[in-house]
C-alpha cells in the first residue's frame, strides 16, 4: 500500500508554505498582555493571499472553480497554518464548504462556493453547543415555517470561532423529527444576536442567540449524517492544527537546547533533555498517524465512509485522533516550557503564544478520557471478531 501523498496534495503543501512564509506569530499583541481580544478581525491580507493561491478552493469541486481535493489536503494546509499561528478561519471555511459541496442543495452550492474560493465569503461553524459539553445540535431547534419551505431556528450556540467576522455561520440544529440539520445563517439577520467572547489564545469568539431566525430551505442541509460528517471534519482539522503547532514548538525547543549551554556543553546533549524531546517526537508521530487515518476515512465517497477503512465507523478513527491530539499537544508545549526554562515565559519570545493556542486547542478537543469512553462504546457495539 502506498502511503505517500499525491502530487496534488504535495503541491498544496508547497503553495501553503509559500503563503505562510511571510507570516509571523507575533503580528498582534500578546494574549498574556491583553485584557480583551488581540485583534477585532481576522488577518484579511493573509486571507486574500490564500484566495489568490487557490488555497481557499482546495476542497471545492471543479464545477465551482476548485481543485476537488479531499480532507487530507485540507489538513495538510492546516498543519502549515498552525506553524505560524495563522489568524484565519481556514478550518471552518474549508470544512463548511466541503459539507456544502458534499451534502448541500445544488442551488446553494452554485451560489455560495465560487465566492468562498475567491475569498469573498468567510464561513464558520457553531460546534460547541450551549455549554461546550453537550451535543451542539441539541442547543438549537429547527422547525418548518408554514407554507413556503423555510426553517425557523431558536436556541443558543457558544464559543463560535470568528463568529463576528464571518459572513455565514453553519449552525447545527435538531428538527422536530429528531434529525440533525445544518443551517447556513447570515451573521446579520433578524432575530440573530452575537455577544463577544475571548478565547484562551486571545482570539475573538461569539455567543450567538437565535430567536425565530428564518432561513430559506435551500440554505438548510438536512441530509442524514451531514452534521456528523461536518463535526468530524472540524475535529480532524483541529487535530491537524495541533500537529502543526506541536511540530513547530518541538523545532523551537530543538534549536534552543542546541544553543543553550550549561557546564560548557549544549543542554541538548544531556540525556535527560534528549529523552524528553524524544518522547515528544513520539507523541507527534502518533498524532500524525492517527490524523491521516481519520482524514482519509472522511474523504471516502458519500455513503461509503462507514465501510472503508475498517469495521468501526469513522467516528472511531476521529476519537483516536482526538485522544492523541488533546494529550499530545499539551505534553509537547509543557515539555517545551520546561526545557526553555525562564526564557519560555518571556513575552518577547513566541513560545508563550504557542502555549496559549495549544491550550485553546486542547480545550476545544476535550479531555482524552471522554474520547476513550466514546471509543470503548463503539468497540462494544461493533465487535471486531
Convert the pLDDT of each residue in 321-356 to its tens digit. Answer: 999 999 999 999 999 999 999 888 899 999 999 999
Cell 413556503 belongs to: 148
312 located within any domain: yes
CATH number reported for the structural domain that contains residue 256 in this entry: 1.20.140.10
In this model, does residue 370 exceed pLDDT 90?
no
The verdict on 238 and 363 lying in the same domain is yes
The verdict on 252 and 372 lying in the same domain is yes
146 located within any domain: yes
The verdict on 230 and 339 lying in the same domain is yes
The verdict on 257 and 273 lying in the same domain is yes
pLDDT at 148: 83
The verdict on 192 and 274 lying in the same domain is no
3-state secondary structure of 170: strand
The verdict on 20 and 76 lying in the same domain is yes
The verdict on 114 and 257 lying in the same domain is no
CATH number reported for the structural domain that contains residue 117 in this entry: 1.10.540.10
In this model, does residue 371 exceed pLDDT 90?
no
The verdict on 246 and 332 lying in the same domain is yes
Task: Identify the domain boundary among 121, 152, 186.
Answer: 121
The verdict on 51 and 133 lying in the same domain is no
105: left (phi over 0), alpha (psi -120 to 50) or beta: beta
174 located within any domain: yes
Segments forming the whole domain that contains residue 352 = 226-381
154: left (phi over 0), alpha (psi -120 to 50) or beta: beta
Report whether 300 contacts 308 (CB < 8 A).
yes
2 located within any domain: no
List of residues 6+ apart from 296 with CB closer than 8 A = 70, 71, 72, 309
Specify the length of the chain in residues.
Answer: 385
3-state secondary structure of 27: coil
Report whether 112 contacts 273 (CB < 8 A).
no
The verdict on 88 and 152 lying in the same domain is no
The verdict on 210 and 230 lying in the same domain is no
CATH number reported for the structural domain that contains residue 143 in this entry: 2.40.110.10
The verdict on 81 and 134 lying in the same domain is no
Task: Identify the domain boundary among 67, 92, 121.
Answer: 121
Task: Identify the domain boundary among 221, 252, 267.
Answer: 221
Number of domains in the chain: 3
In this model, does residue 309 exceed pLDDT 60?
no
- The string of pLDDT tens digits covering residues 35-59 is 999 999 999 999 999 999 999 999 9
185 located within any domain: yes
Mode of pairing for the β-strands spanning 151-161 and 204-215: antiparallel
Q: What percent of the chain has pLDDT over 90?
A: 85
1 located within any domain: no
Amino acid at each position: 500500500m502506498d502511503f505517500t501523498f499525491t502530487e496534488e496534495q504535495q503541491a498544496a503543501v508547497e503553495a501553503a508554505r509559500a503563503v505562510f512564509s511571510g507570516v509571523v506569530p507575533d503580528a498582534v499583541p500578546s494574549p498574556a498582555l491583553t485584557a480583551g481580544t488581540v485583534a477585532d478581525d481576522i488577518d484579511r491580507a493573509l486571507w486574500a493571499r490564500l484566495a489568490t493561491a487557490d488555497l481557499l478552493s482546495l476542497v471545492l469541486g471543479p464545477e465551482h472553480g476548485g481543485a476537488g481535493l479531499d480532507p487530507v489536503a485540507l489538513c495538510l494546509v492546516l498543519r502549515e497554518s498552525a506553524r505560524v499561528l495563522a489568524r484565519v478561519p481556514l478550518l471552518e471555511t474549508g470544512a463548511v464548504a466541503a459539507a456544502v459541496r458534499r451534502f448541500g442543495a445544488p442551488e446553494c452550492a452554485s451560489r455560495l462556493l465560487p465566492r468562498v474560493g475567491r475569498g469573498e465569503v468567510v464561513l464558520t461553524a457553531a460546534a460547541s453547543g450551549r455549554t461546550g459539553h453537550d451535543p451542539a445540535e441539541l442547543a438549537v431547534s429547527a422547525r418548518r415555517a408554514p407554507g413556503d419551505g423555510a426553517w425557523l431556528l431558536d436556541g443558543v450556540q457558544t464559543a463560535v470561532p470568528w463568529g463576528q467576522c464571518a459572513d455565514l455561520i453553519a449552525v447545527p440544529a435538531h428538527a422536530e423529527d429528531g434529525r440533525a440539520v445544518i443551517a447556513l445563517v447570515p451573521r446579520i439577520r433578524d432575530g440573530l444576536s452575537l455577544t463577544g467572547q475571548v478565547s484562551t489564545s486571545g482570539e475573538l469568539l461569539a455567543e450567538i442567540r437565535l430567536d425565530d431566525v428564518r432561513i430559506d430551505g435551500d440554505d438548510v442541509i438536512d441530509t442524514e449524517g451531514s452534521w456528523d460528517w461536518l463535526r468530524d471534519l472540524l475535529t480532524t482539522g483541529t487535530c491537524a492544527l495541533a500537529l502543526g503547532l506541536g511540530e513547530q514548538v518541538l523545532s523551537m525547543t530543538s534549536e534552543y537546547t542546541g544553543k543553550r549551554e550549561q557546564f560548557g556543553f549544549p543542554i541538548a546533549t544531556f540525556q535527560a533533555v534528549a529523552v524528553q524531546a524524544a518522547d515528544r517526537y513520539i507523541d507527534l508521530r502518533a498524532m500524525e498517524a492517527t490524523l491521516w487515518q481519520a482524514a482519509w476515512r472522511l474523504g471516502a465517497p458519500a455513503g461509503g465512509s462507514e465501510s472503508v477503512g475498517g469495521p468501526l465507523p469513522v467516528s472511531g478513527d476521529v476519537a483516536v485522533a482526538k485522544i492523541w491530539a488533546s494529550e499530545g499537544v499539551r505534553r509537547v508545549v509543557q515539555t517545551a516550557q520546561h526545557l526553555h526554562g525562564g526564557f519560555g515565559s518571556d513575552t518577547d519570545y513566541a513560545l508563550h503564544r504557542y502555549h496559549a493556542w495549544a491550550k485553546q486547542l486542547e480545550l476545544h478537543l476535550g479531555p482524552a478520557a471522554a474520547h476513550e469512553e466514546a471509543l470503548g462504546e463503539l468497540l462494544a457495539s461493533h465487535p471486531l471478531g
